[in-house]
Chains A and B, each alone.
Chain A
Amino acid sequence: MSDLTSLTISEARRALRKKEFTALELTDAYLAAMEQARILNAYVAETPEQARTMAKESDRRLAQGGARPLEGIPLGIKDLFATKGVHTQACSHVLHQFKPAYESTVSANLFNDGAVMLGKLNMDEFAMGSSNETSYYGNVINPWRRKGSNAALVPGGSSGGSATAVAAHICAAATATDTGGSIRQPAAFTATVGIKPTYGRCSRWGIFAFASSLDQAGPIARDVRDAAIMLKSMASHDPKDTTSADLPVPDYEAALTGNIKGLRVGIPKEYRMEGMPADIDALWHKGAEWLKAQGAEIVEVSLPHTKYALPAYYIVAPAEASSNLARYDGVRYGLRETGDDVISMYENTRAKGFGREVQRRIMIGTYVLSAGYYDAYYVKAQKIRTLIKRDFDEAWNKVDVILTPATPNAAFAPGEITDPVQMYLNDIFTVTVNMAGLPGIAIPAGLDRAGLPLALQLIGKPFDEATLFRTAHLMEAAAQFTARPERWW
């Protein structure tokens, strides 16, 4: 039997239904691969027993001919999603030993569709980071390395475990979340496909809140078709999340028609940043050419407030985080450090439980929301958000999708970026999308001169993920990206 872990979801789905192998065999192949790949530190908890139980149930259903959409497909779940009775700690020490009594809506949707859970995936603490260096459980290592080098590279973040696990074939696909770029940037660093859907497309219920007006779940997968299959199952209207959209979820796989004739593709001139690496600029041009060759029309557009999105984000996101993370006080769950009184118990618990980056963001958020500063910072940032959204609304009068680079650079080494603001700049091309609530997808498109993957991003109109998938699918075909990280682990 060939290596079962090399199959995409669509390939495995077909083979399972044709009884070429069982769901249990598929799951066991992944469990064995996970064991061999522990050096990548992608999983913070492996759940082999649960996985085998779920796979056996899938085999029972496959035998009866009642297969659900993801029957027997082994997935990794980001540690930010509550999974009932299973390690869920947002990779923070403050949630020490936490095991929720409930299941997040997104993971429940996947399991109701027949998916198998392999384990919980590493991430930046509370999804705050762009390199997966802030996890309490240590760095995740990117399976990709520079040509001729043995040096470790970061997988990006915050969904670094998800991206590494998908790239290293130690899960068929993974759940992830994106507040400023946390799906698309790690996808770009690992040559995987990651989509952040429109705000409201997936329920946020049971996903630990970071910045509630920006957080959105989405998949990281091996190709565009798999991402479409995953999002179809993940998305739903959920009465438990009042911001989840009461709209039908289209069949995204059916949107992969292979036809974008007449599609208008916008190129935002403000994304042509000074000092952009030549490889990324060249790839961006190539991307436009690929779409043009398929019958799309390329149109220059202007998004004048682009450069203000990231600083405005670093007001809005920390402000919301400082409020959301107030609940971790050592009383109801997780870590408790003792103190002389209740206040010092809180202070000691939060000092020990939160890592440096999380503390930094809570403090920035506390400051911008404090009396006397609220208007100057928070209200100002929300006004700029209106302007960012207005830029996009105007662009949508002229174009159907917008094409940009996904990241300003390829993967870097752990410890290479220590200045917080420098680290934040990793999200410069992705964060506008969160600020405006739009869908965005990162697609692997080429290698840089060091042999590391680079990606392009497509941005879509609200709730028009179908057009993104259709366009991304053709871009994927044109890019003919077949490179794989050489297996060193």
Chain B
Amino acid sequence: MSIDRNMVRRIAKLARIRVSEEDLPRLEGELNSILKWIEMLNEVDTTDVEPMTSVVKMSIKMRDDIVTEGQNPAAVTANAPKTEDNFYVVPKVVE
């Protein structure tokens, strides 16, 4: 399956990465060469094969539903590019 320029635009949009029009042809070529290489997998018959969900068999661990850490908003927001009173500040989302 190869992808066209519009699909590259759509993927970039979904991935939330701004891609300029000049960069589209390069990306289209690179992504297609990777996808073409991956097509090799179609040679493999995977009928009745279960997809792997865990590399090592382990039972899912349960823990008590309690707060172990928290109440530290200053540390949580310390690395944020823009904050106010321990809140993250973003451009206006709701009119």
Q: Which of A101, A367, A389 contacts B55 (CB 8 A)?
A: A389
Task: Check B38–A350 contact: CB distance below 8 A.
Answer: no
Residues of A within 8 A of B56 (CB): 198-200, 245, 437, 462
Q: Which of A100, A329, A364, A386 contacts B52 (CB 8 A)?
A: A386
Contact with A along B42-78 (1 / 0, CB 8 A): 0110100111111110101101000000000001111
How long is the Cα–Cα vector from A408 to B49 in the complex, in angstroms?
30
- Who on chain B is nearest to A350 by CB? B17
Tell me if B's interface is mostly helix, strand, loop or mixed. loop
- Who on chain B is nearest to A348 by CB? B18
How long is the Cα–Cα vector from A381 to B52 in the complex, in angstroms?
9
How long is the Cα–Cα vector from A160 to B12 in the complex, in angstroms?
29
Given the contacts A245-B56, A381-B41, A385-B52, A420 and B16 also touching, CB distance less than 8 Å: no
Given the contacts A322-B15, A331-B80, A350-B16, A377 and B31 also touching, CB distance less than 8 Å: no
How long is the Cα–Cα vector from A384 to B42 in the complex, in angstroms?
10
Q: Which of A101, A213, A326, A354 contacts B78 (CB 8 A)?
A: A101
- Interface pick from A1-9, A269-277, A335-343: A335-343
Task: Check B17–A387 contact: CB distance below 8 A.
Answer: no
Q: Which of B31, B50, B55 contacts A383 (CB 8 A)?
A: B50
By the criterion of a CB under 8 Å from any partner CB, how many residues of chain A are at the interface? 73
Tell me if A's interface is mostly helix, strand, loop or mixed. helix
Task: Check A367–B11 contact: CB distance below 8 A.
Answer: yes
Residues of B within 8 A of A294 (CB): none
Central interface residue in A99, A333, A373, by most chain B CB within 10 Å: A333
Residue A363 is within 8 A (CB to CB) of chain B in the complex: yes
Contact with B along A437-481 (1 / 0, CB 8 A): 100000000000000000000000010000000000000000000
Task: Check B41–A334 contact: CB distance below 8 A.
Answer: no
Task: Check B34–A314 contact: CB distance below 8 A.
Answer: yes
Residue A324 is within 8 A (CB to CB) of chain B in the complex: no
A384-416 residues at the B interface, CB under 8 angstroms: 384-387, 389
Residue A228 is within 8 A (CB to CB) of chain B in the complex: no
Task: Check A335–B15 contact: CB distance below 8 A.
Answer: no
Task: Check A386–B18 contact: CB distance below 8 A.
Answer: no
Closest chain B CB from A352 CB (angstroms): 8
How long is the Cα–Cα vector from A239 to B58 in the complex, in angstroms?
14
Residues of A within 8 A of B52 (CB): 382-383, 385-386, 389
Residues of B within 8 A of A15 (CB): none
- Who on chain B is nearest to A386 by CB? B52
- Interface pick from A142-150, A258-266, A304-312: A304-312
Residues of B within 8 A of A332 (CB): 77, 79-80, 88
Closest chain A CB from B15 CB (angstroms): 4
Residue A347 is within 8 A (CB to CB) of chain B in the complex: yes
Residues of B within 8 A of A67 (CB): none
- Who on chain B is nearest to A328 by CB? B16
Q: Which of B34, B38, B61, B91 contacts A345 (CB 8 A)?
A: B91
Q: Which of A213, A242, A347 contacts B16 (CB 8 A)?
A: A347
- 30 contacts across the A-B interface (CB closer than 8 A): A100-B79, A101-B76, A245-B58, A305-B44, A314-B34, A332-B79, A332-B80, A333-B79, A333-B80, A341-B93, A342-B93, A343-B16, A344-B18, A345-B90, A347-B16, A351-B18, A363-B11, A363-B17, A367-B7, A367-B31, A370-B11, A370-B14, A381-B41, A383-B50, A384-B41, A384-B44, A386-B49, A386-B50, A386-B51, A389-B52
